[in-house]
Structure 1
Amino acid sequence: MRVLFAGTPAVAVPSLDALVEAGFDVVAVLTRPDAPLGRKRVLTPSPVAARAVELGIDVIRAARVDAETTAKISAVRPDVAAIVAYGGLVPPAALAIPRHGWVNLHFSLLPAWRGAAPVQRSVMAGDDVTGAVTFRLEEGLDTGPVYGILTEAVGPYDTAGELLERLSRSGSVLLAQTLSAIAAGKAAPVPQAGEVSLAPKLTLDDGKITWGHPALAIGRQARGVTPEPGAWTVLDGQRVKLEPVRLRPDVEGLEPGALSVQGKSVLVGTGSHAVELTRVQPAGKKMMPAADWARGLASPESVVFE
């Protein structure tokens, strides 16, 4: 089959590689335009675009699938389109081009966590199990019938980034298997069933820690927003970034947001028991071990995060 691959971030690259390794004729890649990165704001290709160039595959760069982009897709005559975190909606005119439609690899157990941030929202909600599915893309938000499914346990210390990395690799195998089944005429997608939940894109505010919340919820939140947009709090009016915290049920009695240095442990009070900071990035500085940061404070025991 002639395959159009649509994807943008690094987590989509394993799927592109898997389709090429499986012998599919990937005729073009659709990805978001080059974006400015770093302090110097250098225009940089998306990870998928960079990999496609390495593989010698033509690249269609588009911020959205408009009439011009739809015409470019039609010109490469795909039999099927595979999409993994492209970052834009596919309108009906483009959906209708491949005779086998568009197959989306989505990192959740649909209909749970429909939307842009399924893994992050799953971790923040405290799910024990997540996974990935391949489904036929349609106009609704992640509503199409499902071809295949895999599950993945969520470890107690998994960050969203770590979990997404694992799912990107296992999911790439599932995507290749799904396209092989479609090519063989053996694919039979089934309608989604179960409770629907939504996973909107994360914003900076999703990383703001509210210290009056229970420690367990704070721990889940910090893991869910790592690496992006990252957990953070406020001290003396400035934003302080935090890496995921450790739960310390053995330490109680600290007021929410209050700091306590006990040996090499830097503890913060919550609405339940304390949490232990791991790494801290003060405004204008690099990320550092929490103990090193605390040693630089004039009076650690008087610190209260906002």
Structure 2
Amino acid sequence: MNYKDLRIVFMGTPEFAVASLNALVQAGCNIVGVITAPDKPAGRGMKLQESPVKQYAIAKGLRVLQPEKLKNAQFLQELKDLNPDLQVVVAFRMLPEVVWNMPKRGTINVHGSLLPQYRGAAPINWAIINGEKQTGVTTFKLQHEIDTGDILLQQTIPIGENETAGEIHDRMKEVGAALLVKTIEELADGRLKEKPQVKTEDQRIQDTPALKHAPKIFTETCRIDWNQPLEAVNNLIRGLSPFPGAFTFLDQKMLKIYRGEKLSNSTNVQPGKYQTDGKTYLRFACADGFFNIKELQLEGKKRMNVEDFLRGYKFAETQSDN
């Protein structure tokens, strides 16, 4: 069967998903419907904002459905009427079985890790926080347990020493989009063999690496512990940049840090104390050196580089650079 003959329903909401939807459209896939989140009020005027996927779909003349609840009888009937052969999910919400099991050929998900590693909501962030040197993209079939379905295709992505989660995100969305098209092409003509994932309980039997997980990021995850080694602090900051952002406190105000560099010179300064010349640098002591801040955002202010920040900031206390 030619992949262009498949009736495909696409499900996604944020900008990350637009790259995949665009890749399918450009490849000539038959997108019979797009499911995305309902419009939400945002901004100062709290005006209703359409999701990036909805904006793209409307521009391309695609049919859009925006169910509040995925088990709603009317939505399920509308979905059934689309008669999908295949559903594709990219950065959407959890689907009930009645939805993911509806198409004849099942539902494909694009996940931002090399499954079975980093199952969960924040795979890009956790891979960097944990100091991984590579990550990747996986296409797989949805099953009952989250991120555990049979693997279809995978592609590895190297993580640069100073790359942030945002930079990996931007590269990954393009890699994932191309991998998705390849997956659908090979699935349609029968070339693709599904590969079952290793489950957690299989670890005792098989000689496989321990599974690392990627749970949702909470506020407590984002607070910098300056008692940690430089490498761990740098990884946390990169892994949470630009969102939600790793933070510390400066003169009792929250300070988000987006980028910096490791200064591995030995120090007798207490971890968490800062040094600055008031003009060109602001650095915090860690367990084994200093973290030199390059980009930051003080509570109530905009994001800026450290030189601009220092030009307009008056410190509540003075700490020497000796």
TM range (shorter): over 0.9
Instruction: Tell me whether 1:281 sits opposite 2:297 in the alignment.
Output: yes
Q: Deviations over 1:6-35 (max 9, x none)?
A: 111111111001111111100111111112
List per-residue Cα deviations over 1:115-142 (Å, max 9, x = no partner): 1110111010111110001000111110
| Deviation of the 1:283 alpha carbon | 1.9
In structure 2, distance between residues paired with 1:58 and 1:139 = 28
Alignment of 1:207-286 (within 5 A): 207-250=222-265, 252-262=267-277, 264-286=280-302
Does 1:197 pair with 2:202? no
1:186 pairs with 2:191: yes
Give the superposition deviation at 1:63. Answer: 4.3
**Cα 1:64/1:107, change in 2 over 3 Å:** farther
Partner of 1:84: 90
- Aligned 8 A contact 1:254 1:268 in 2: no
Q: TM-score, normalised by structure 2?
A: 0.89
Q: Does 1:72 align with 2:78?
A: yes
SS in structure 2 of the partner of residue 243 of structure 1: strand
Aligned to 1:44: 49
SS in 1 for 2:224: coil
Aligned residue pair count: 302
The answer (yes or no) to whether the contact 1:259–1:301 under 8 Å persists in 2 is no
Q: Secondary structure at the match of 1:81?
A: strand
- Rounded Cα–Cα distance in structure 1 between residues aligned with 2:22 and 2:282: 43
Query: Are 1:161 and 2:155 an aligned pair?
Result: no
Once the 2 structures are TM-superposed, how far is the Cα of residue 300 of structure 1 from its aligned partner? Answer: 5.7
CA distance, structure 2, for counterparts of residue 152 and residue 291 of structure 1: 33
CA distance in 1, matches of 2:131, 2:185: 34
In the alignment, which of 125, 131, 150 is matched to residue 126 of structure 1? 131
Deviating 4+ runs (over 6 angstroms): none
Asked if 1:297 corresponds to 2:314, the answer is yes
Looking at structure 2, the residues matched to 218 and 174 of structure 1 have their Cα atoms a distance apart, in angstroms, of 33
Tell me the distance in 1 between the aligned counterparts of 2:184 and 2:274: 53
TM-score by length of 1: 0.93
The aligned residue for residue 108 of structure 2 is 103
Q: 1:32 aligns with which of 26, 30, 37?
A: 37
CA 1:217 to 1:2, structure 2 compared with 1: closer, same or farther past 3 Å?
same
How far is 1:36 from its partner? 2.5
Q: Which runs of 5+ in 1 are unaligned?
A: none
Contact 2:265 2:288 in 1 (8 A): no
| Separation in structure 1 between the aligned mates of residue 77 and residue 154 of structure 2, nearest angstrom | 32
**One-letter identity of the residue aligned with 1:218:** V
Q: CA deviation at 1:198?
A: 1.7
Which moved further from structure 2: 150-159 or 91-100? 91-100
Q: Superposition RMSD on alpha carbons, in Å?
A: 1.7
Distance 1:239 1:301 in 2: 18
In structure 2, C-alpha distance between the alignment counterparts of 1:244 and 1:298, rounded to whole Å: 21
Q: Report if the CA contact (8 A) 2:8-2:88 is conserved.
A: yes
SS across alignment from 2:31: strand
1:152 counterpart = 2:157: yes
Identity %: 32
Distance 1:225 1:43, change over 3 A: same
Q: Deviations over 1:92-114 (max 9, x none)?
A: 11122110000111010000000
Whether contact under 8 Å (1:18, 1:172) holds in the other structure is: yes
Instruction: Give the whole-Å Cα distance in 2 for the aligned partners of 1:203 and 1:36.
Output: 23
Query: Aligned residue for 1:21?
Result: 26
The secondary structure found in structure 2 opposite 1:245 is strand
TM-aligned CA deviation for residue 299 of structure 1:
5.6
Gaps of 5+ in 2: 1-5, 199-207
Q: Following the alignment from structure 1 to structure 2, what is the Cα–Cα distance between the partners of residues 208 and 236?
A: 16
Q: Is the 8 A contact 1:259 1:300 kept in 2?
A: no
What is the identity, as a one-letter code, of the residue corresponding to 2:88?
A
Offset of 1:202 from its aligned partner?
1.4
Alpha-carbon separation, structure 2, partners of 1:140 and 1:208: 31
In structure 1, distance between residues paired with 2:59 and 2:245 = 31
SS at 1:149's partner residue? Answer: strand
In the alignment, residue 84 of structure 2 is paired with which amino acid? P
Instruction: State the SS of the aligned residue for 1:89.
Output: coil
Distance 2:32 2:141 in 1: 20
